[in-house]
Homo-oligomer: A and B are copies of this chain.
Amino acid sequence: MTQEWVTKVIDEIAQFGKRDCGIYREAFSEADDKARNYIIELMKQVGLKVRTDEIGNIIGRLEVGDNKAPAVVTGSHLDTVPGGSKYDGVIGVVGGLAAILRLKERKVTQPLELIVFAAEESSRFMFATMGSKAMIGRSNINSWRKAKDKNDISFVEVMSSRGLDINNIDKAARSKDAIKAFVELHIEQGNTLVSKPAAIGIVDVVAAPTRLKITVDGLANYSGTTPMNIRRDALVSASMIVLAIQEIALEQSYYGTVATVGALKVHPGAINVIPGQVEMWVDIRGVNHSSIIECLQEIKDAVSTVAEGQDTSMSIEMLSSEKPVEMDKEVAKIIENVCDSKGLSYVQMNSGAGHDAMNMAFLAPTGMIFIPSYNDISHCADEYATPNDIETGIQVLTETLFQLAK
């Protein structure tokens, strides 16, 4: 599987959900279905045995070596954020497939697997890495049952329209015996590798997102006739919270902690009605656990202060809060040796973004390989990876998988 083949497959997948500005391939959307069906067909064509589990993870297996031995696994995801890039997740899927196929001719003793995880991005249902969470038996069924997207379509509904039953999700869990190691290839989504510069990033710690939903309740009233001094405008309070969160995160940025209000909805949202309610979603990341805790505490304090000062009640719902996850030191050492043997520059680094690898680390020794990302100058702010960097990443992945499976 040549570099040209990889470029071609990435470009073909980029057609699914393509819009003027970025790719819209949200989890379990029609575009996501198309991309998934495309990869299932491709995996079958090149000789993988393919199955889909109870949450929709696609598992393609190359039965080489001792088929009863634990598999050496790679993979990533195909869903995107709204207006996402063609590389995020896709490089790990296509590069993972290329790596497995390149190992077909070499003597490996362990079966090889490519996993395309379902619903890695949280943008649709506000829960991240749902597929890999289900695979490690840590699905959050009670909350997932209540999850709805922007259009009020529930996760349960979406699953059922694809023949999946939320009550069966537990069956997607795999045993530790089944997997020897997991390695994920991914675009960096940051500027560490470009600014160093280095060809490869070897991930040390993956930051897990802490996520909150803050609901502000004010009083909806007619905008034309309600005097300014008696208003209880939920958007005014929400704006104060947005700025407080920005301030708090700036203070904590020394520890690499970041916080973002990415989504905010105003109700009723009419030009002539004072906002009565605002819902906002906050994403906090970092690799320093105590900095995240401090950030959280300060956000709670700000919420109390604003709620009291503005006479708008506020509630905070914790959607997820997980500790940063360390990658396996031995797998990292193997990746390092591969880079050395190829004369490639590399750097040990943290991942600010969450990844399926962060969950897979609970099942098996896990590593992550980053390749550089460049920011597109268009207003879509798409990230860009050069074909040569992708090829380098695939070569490092191939050799790492070989060392683990030989």
Enumerate chain A interface residues (CB-CB to B < 8 A).
81-83, 121-123, 126, 128, 150, 188-190, 207, 209, 211, 217, 219-229, 233, 235-236, 238-240, 242-243, 246, 249-250, 253, 258-264, 266, 268-276, 281-283, 285, 351-354, 379-381, 383
Contact = CB atoms under 8 A, between A and B. Distances in A.
Contact of A219 (B262, B263, B276, B381): B381
A143 to B, nearest CB: 14
B258 A262 contact: no
Contact of A123 (B266, B273, B351): B273
27 contacts: A81-B272, A81-B273, A82-B269, A82-B273, A122-B271, A188-B225, A189-B222, A190-B225, A209-B272, A222-B383, A223-B258, A223-B260, A224-B354, A225-B258, A226-B258, A228-B258, A228-B259, A236-B242, A240-B243, A243-B243, A261-B275, A262-B266, A262-B272, A263-B269, A264-B266, A271-B281, A276-B381
A268 B82 contact: yes
Contacts of A229: 250, 253
A309 to B, nearest CB: 13
A261 B276 contact: no
Residue of A229, A240, A270, A380 with highest tally of chain B CB at under 10 A: A270
Given A235-B264, A242-B236, A276-B381, A271 B220 contact: no
B190 A272 contact: no
A274 B270 CA distance: 24
A128 B270 CA distance: 12
Contacts of A242: 235-236, 239
Contact of A246 (B228, B250, B351): B228
A272 B123 contact: yes
Contact of A239 (B227, B243, B272, B283): B243
A29 B215 CA distance: 29
Contacts of A354: 224
A94 to B, nearest CB: 20
A36 B268 CA distance: 23
A45 to B, nearest CB: 33
B258 A227 contact: yes
Contacts of A259: 228
A293 to B, nearest CB: 18
A276 to B, nearest CB: 7
A250 B379 CA distance: 36
Nearest to A211: B271
Contacts of A270: 81-82, 121-123, 262-263
A377 B207 CA distance: 46
Contacts of A211: 271
